[in-house]
Amino acid sequence: MSTIDYAPLSAPVTREEARAFRRESRARSGGLLSGGIVAVIALVVGVVGGAAALLVVIALGVAVWTAPGGPDGGMVLLTLALLVVLGLTAWGIVAGTVGTLGTWSRWLRLTRFATANRMTFSASSPDPRYPGAIFTVGRDRRAVEHLRSTEGRYVDFGNYRYVTGSGKNQTTHHWGFLALKLDRRLPHMVLDARSNNGLFGATTLPTAFSRDQVLSLEGDFDRHFTLYCPAEYERDALYVFTPDLMALLIDEAAPYDVEIVDDWMFVYSPTRFPPADEATYRRLFRIVDTVGAKTVAQTGRYADDRAGVDRTANLVAPQGRRLKRGISAGAVVFIVVFVLGFVWNLVGGAFGY
């Protein structure tokens, strides 16, 4: 991408500017965001303050009735309790107001940053229709605090969340992501970063892929990434991941998982990107300018001979479009522990211990 102006990310925003931006955004039909999410932030702060106040009232109420001299002797404590409650309530109101205003200040800086760099900022976008692994699982899918290019090659980066489970088992998953549009459709390939794997080397990606699709590459690359590609597409993967592209991936994207699917390249972080953070944005744009640019250049003339059509057709044969799913290491460990526990109970019952 062309030279990026990062100054708006650190430029000061006055309270008056933040309030005016909030009014304009709420008044604009289909604007950045309704007050809903911000109201949730204020509600959480208020609930925390209210709960703390309630606990203080209960504790000091007990102290009043057990104080020397009975209730009359505890009036001083009761007065202090009321003062504490009023103080906590005021704190909740002020903290909620300041916190939400701080959010709007950040969104204003991001909007100015987007405008200065021919991009658009969205505080929240429901269910982005991307084919990547993290975008096809769960419910209540939403990209949050993300920036998209408005000209040139399409780039979208920011944070993403989705929900799995229900009731007490409900979990909200958070990711940082970068999406880059490619020129050609490519076989489905995943680079699972070893540096962010979990216990027993389990992938942090929401989808596990069959291990018989792992392709080992030369040099130190296998120490940084596990490469998955469809069966019989090993030569195609080597065509894409040349030594210079592998070097760029190690240098610039080693902490992240990378996925190529259809005509998209995705970069995933298992933790959220800090919004409006200059260092993070510089790194993401550097990935676009190095890894992304090299991938586009390397694959600009790619054609899948198995598609059975003219080489100029932008198609991948069905067997190369998606990797086969597998069982995650975490699931294997769970099954082994369950079986061992079952056998132990069975043997213990048979021998009476």
pLDDT score of 54: 58
pLDDT in tens, 132-190: 999 999 999 999 999 999 999 999 999 999 999 999 999 999 999 999 999 999 999 99
Helix axes 75-116, 36-66, angle to 10 degrees: 160
With cut-offs at 50, 70 and 90, classify the pLDDT of residue 200: confident
With cut-offs at 50, 70 and 90, classify the pLDDT of residue 71: low
The CA-to-CA distance between both ends of the chain, in Å, stands at 69
Instruction: Please check the confidence at residue 64 and state whether its pLDDT lies above 80.
Output: no
pLDDT in tens, 331-341: 444 444 443 44
Instruction: Please check the confidence at residue 73 and state whether its pLDDT lies above 80.
Output: no
* 38 compared with 6, residue with greater pLDDT: 6
pLDDT score of 352: 65
Q: What is the mean pLDDT of the chain?
A: 84
Mean pLDDT of 94-115: 82
Mean pLDDT of 31-58: 51
* 127 compared with 100, residue with greater pLDDT: 127
Amino acid at 296: V
Contacts of 71 (CB under 8 A, 6+ apart): 64, 65
Instruction: Please check the confidence at residue 222 and state whether its pLDDT lies above 90.
Output: yes
b/e sequence 66-104, b meaning 16+ C-beta within 10 Å? ebeeeeeebeebbeebeebbeebeeebeeebeeebbebb
* 214 compared with 330, residue with greater pLDDT: 214
Contacts of 282 (CB under 8 A, 6+ apart): 4, 6
**Which residue's entry shows tokens 């061992």?**
340
55/88 Cα distance (integer angstroms): 11
CA 273 vs CA 145, 157, 177: distances in Å: 10, 9, 8
149/117 Cα distance (integer angstroms): 8
Amino acid at 84: V
Mean pLDDT of 5-16: 98
Residue 185 phi, psi dihedral angles, 5° rounding: -75, 135
pLDDT in tens, 292-302: 999 999 999 99
With cut-offs at 50, 70 and 90, classify the pLDDT of residue 90: very low
189/289 Cα distance (integer angstroms): 20
Instruction: Please check the confidence at residue 281 and state whether its pLDDT lies above 50.
Output: yes
pLDDT score of 312: 85
Instruction: Please check the confidence at residue 327 and state whether its pLDDT lies above 80.
Output: yes
Mean pLDDT of 259-280: 99
CA 304 vs CA 232, 237, 282: distances in Å: 11, 12, 35
Rg of the chain over Cα atoms, rounded to whole angstroms, equals 27
Got the DSSP string for 210-230? -GGGEE--STTHHHHEEEE--
Amino acid at 62: V
What whole-number percentage of the chain has pLDDT above 90? 67
Are 272 and 174 in contact by the 8 Å Cβ rule? The answer is yes
Residue 263 phi, psi dihedral angles, 5° rounding: -110, 45
Q: Tell me the three state secondary structure of residue 157.
A: strand
Instruction: Please check the confidence at residue 45 and state whether its pLDDT lies above 50.
Output: no
pLDDT score of 344: 46
With cut-offs at 50, 70 and 90, classify the pLDDT of residue 219: confident
Instruction: Please check the confidence at residue 81 and state whether its pLDDT lies above 90.
Output: no
pLDDT score of 309: 81
pTM of the model: 0.79
pLDDT score of 311: 81
pLDDT score of 308: 85
Instruction: Please check the confidence at residue 105 and state whether its pLDDT lies above 60.
Output: yes
How many Cβ atoms from other residues are within 10 Å of residue 236's Cβ? Answer: 22
CA 139 vs CA 32, 37, 326: distances in Å: 22, 17, 22
